[in-house]
């Protein structure tokens, strides 16, 4: 396959650029780290009840992960604490050697956004947002935070978005795709209104459990290998819901990044929705043009875990279908399935294409420039 490169673009592009990594996972050394950031009124709850999710376990996962702490074995900080808990080691192992210009933090644990006790969820979200600001953003100028909100409590979420937006330092509003209802439904719209008002990108990171089968209508599967590959399904459901309900039509400035769900599902979703739309137009008054046209204006994807076709040239087809300006590199450091930017996308790319994927696209979608 030949690669068509506009020589003017290639020449104009800098030959060296630093990286933007859209998915870095910091974590508390222990949940006790968050206690000081919680209002006193929640301290007894924190001590006695604490983490309360839709799960059979307090901490473990019913689809056990393949590595301890879900992480690369070489990412445990030498000074103790779980992977991702030590800023100095993160600098040494990841930010410095890969010359990361900006890294977007995604906090997965403890899962504040999905606490069953909504009051605690809101308090924990605020605590994690403050913890990010104090422990990470204030200490490392290369990092940007994610605003955590309790999605099932849109009013408090909107207030928290406003609070964090005033504070600054956050690149995105973090969403979780496995919600209790499809994300386009009206009850979530106050969140979108707040995100648009504060010009915040929506970052939707895969993962979490909500009690429904991760397969959706097929029922509960047995293996982590199945659960892992099911990570993209809710992204598709979420985007389908959002475009069918008219979220992007009503909030035209929204930008959404689908994070850690691979990329290959996106073009087939476009094809499928466009075909279905022709039959369901009477049901979908908010959709006045092909769904793919609407989504293409609002959706970005991150690269990890990198799609690995046997023939790497097929990646170029995928990128052509998605749009080269819509793809942003993510490492997922320090998790077990993280990608090394030097090897993750073994496909011929022009310098301009590389620069887009590894830096410029993320700078644009997150307004980092």
Partner 1 sequence: MATEAATLSPVHAITGAIDVDLHPAVPDMAALLPHMHPHWAEQMVVRGIDALESVMWKATMPITARPDFRGPPGTQPGQSLERLRAQALDGFGTAIGICNPLWGTAALFNEDMASELCRAMNTWLAREWLDREPRLRGAITVAPHAPDQAAAEIERCAADPRFVSVLLPAMTEMPLGRRSHRPIFAAAEKHGLAVTIHAGGQYRHPPTVTGWGSFHAEDHAAQANIFQAQVLSLVYEGVFVDHPSLRVVLLDAGIGWLPSFLWRANKTWRGLRAEVPWVKRSPSDIVREHIRFSLQPLQGPPDAQGMERLLEHIAADHMLLFSTDYPHWRFEGQAAVPPQIPARLLPALLRENALETYPRLRPSDRPRAALPEGVNRPAP
Partner 2 sequence: MARHVVMRAAELPAGESRVVTVRGREIAVFNLAGEFFALINRCPHEGAPLGLGLRIGLSESNKPGCYSHSRPGELVRCPWHGWEFDIRTGQSWCEPSRLKARAYAATRETGGALVKGLYVAESVKVAVEEEYVVVEV
Stretch that binds partner 1, among 103-111, 182-190, 192-200, 344-352 (CB under 8 A): 182-190
Nearer to partner 2, 216 or 309 (CB): 309
Q: What is the DSSP letter of 185?
A: S
Stretch that binds partner 2, among 51-59, 119-127, 202-210, 341-349 (CB under 8 A): 341-349
Stretch that binds partner 1, among 52-60, 68-76, 92-100, 215-223 (CB under 8 A): 215-223
Q: Does 314 bind partner 2 (CB under 8 A)?
A: no
66, 168, 211, 216: which one contacts partner 2 (CB under 8 A)?
Answer: 66
* Binding partner at 111 among partner 1, partner 2, none, C-beta below 5 to 8 Å by kind: none
21, 153, 160, 339: which one contacts partner 2 (CB under 8 A)?
Answer: 339
Q: Does 2 bind partner 1 (CB under 8 A)?
A: no
CB 288: neighbour CB atoms within 10 A?
Answer: 11
Cβ contact 141:132 at 8 Å: no
ω into 305 cis (within 30 of 0): yes
Q: Interaction with partner 2 in 70-99: which residues (CB under 8 A)?
A: 72-74
Helix (H, G, I), strand (E, B) or coil at 232: helix
Cβ contact 340:331 at 8 Å: yes
Residues in a beta bridge with 257: 203, 300
Cβ contact 43:50 at 8 Å: no
344, 351, 363, 368: which one contacts partner 2 (CB under 8 A)?
Answer: 344
- DSSP per-residue string spanning 138-169: TT-TTEEEEEE--TT-HHHHHHHHHHHHHH--
Q: Does 159 bind partner 2 (CB under 8 A)?
A: no
The dihedral region occupied by 360, where left means phi > 0, alpha psi between -120 and 50, and beta the remainder, is alpha
Q: Does 218 bind partner 1 (CB under 8 A)?
A: yes
The C-alpha atoms of residue 364 and residue 183 are separated, in whole angstroms, by 24
Q: Which residues bind partner 1 (CB under 8 A)?
A: 66, 177-185, 210, 212-226, 228-230, 232-234, 236-238, 240-241, 244-245, 262-265, 267-269, 271-277, 279-280, 282-284, 305, 307-310, 314, 317-318, 321, 336-337
Q: Which residues bind partner 2 (CB under 8 A)?
A: 66-67, 72-74, 336-340, 342-344
């Amino acid at each position: 396959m030949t690669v068509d490169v506009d020589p003017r673009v290639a020449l104009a592009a800098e030959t060296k650029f630093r990286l933007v990594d859209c998915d870095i996972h910091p974590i508390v050394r222990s949940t006790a780290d968050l206690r000081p950031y919680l209002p006193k009124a929640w301290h007894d709850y924190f001590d006695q009840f604490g983490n309360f999710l839709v799960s059979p376990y307090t901490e473990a996962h019913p689809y056990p992960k393949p590595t301890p702490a879900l992480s690369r074995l070489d990412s445990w900080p030498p000074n103790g604490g779980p992977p991702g808990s030590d800023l100095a080691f993160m600098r040494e192992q990841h930010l410095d050697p890969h010359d990361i210009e900006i890294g977007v933090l995604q906090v997965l644990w403890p899962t504040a956004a999905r606490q069953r006790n909504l009051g605690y969820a809101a308090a924990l979200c605020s605590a994690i947002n403050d913890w990010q600001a104090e422990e990470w953003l204030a200490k490392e100028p290369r990092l940007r935070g994610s605003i955590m909100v309790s999605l099932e409590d849109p009013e408090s979420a909107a207030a928290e978005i406003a609070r964090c937006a005033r504070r600054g330092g956050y690149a995105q509003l973090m969403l979780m795709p496995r919600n209790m209802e499809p994300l386009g439904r009206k009850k979530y719209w106050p969140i979108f209104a707040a995100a648009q008002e504060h010009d915040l990108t929506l970052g939707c990171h895969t993962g979490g459990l909500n009690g429904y089968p991760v397969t959706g209508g097929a029922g509960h599967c047995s293996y982590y290998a199945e659960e892992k590959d099911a990570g993209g399904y809710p992204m598709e459901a979420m985007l389908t819901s959002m475009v069918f309900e008219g979220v992007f039509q009503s909030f035209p400035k929204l930008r959404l990044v689908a994070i850690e769900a691979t990329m290959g599902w996106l073009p087939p979703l476009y094809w499928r929705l466009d075909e279905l739309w022709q039959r369901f137009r009477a049901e979908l008054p908010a959709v006045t043009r092909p769904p793919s046209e609407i989504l293409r204006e609002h959706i970005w994807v991150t690269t990890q875990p990198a799609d690995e076709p046997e023939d790497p040239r097929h990646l170029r087809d995928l990128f052509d279908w998605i749009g080269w300006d819509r793809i942003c590199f993510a490492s997922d450091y320090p998790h077990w399935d993280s990608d090394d930017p030097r090897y993750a996308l073994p496909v011929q790319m022009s310098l301009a294409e590389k620069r887009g994927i590894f830096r410029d696209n993320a700078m644009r979608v997150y307004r980092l420039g």
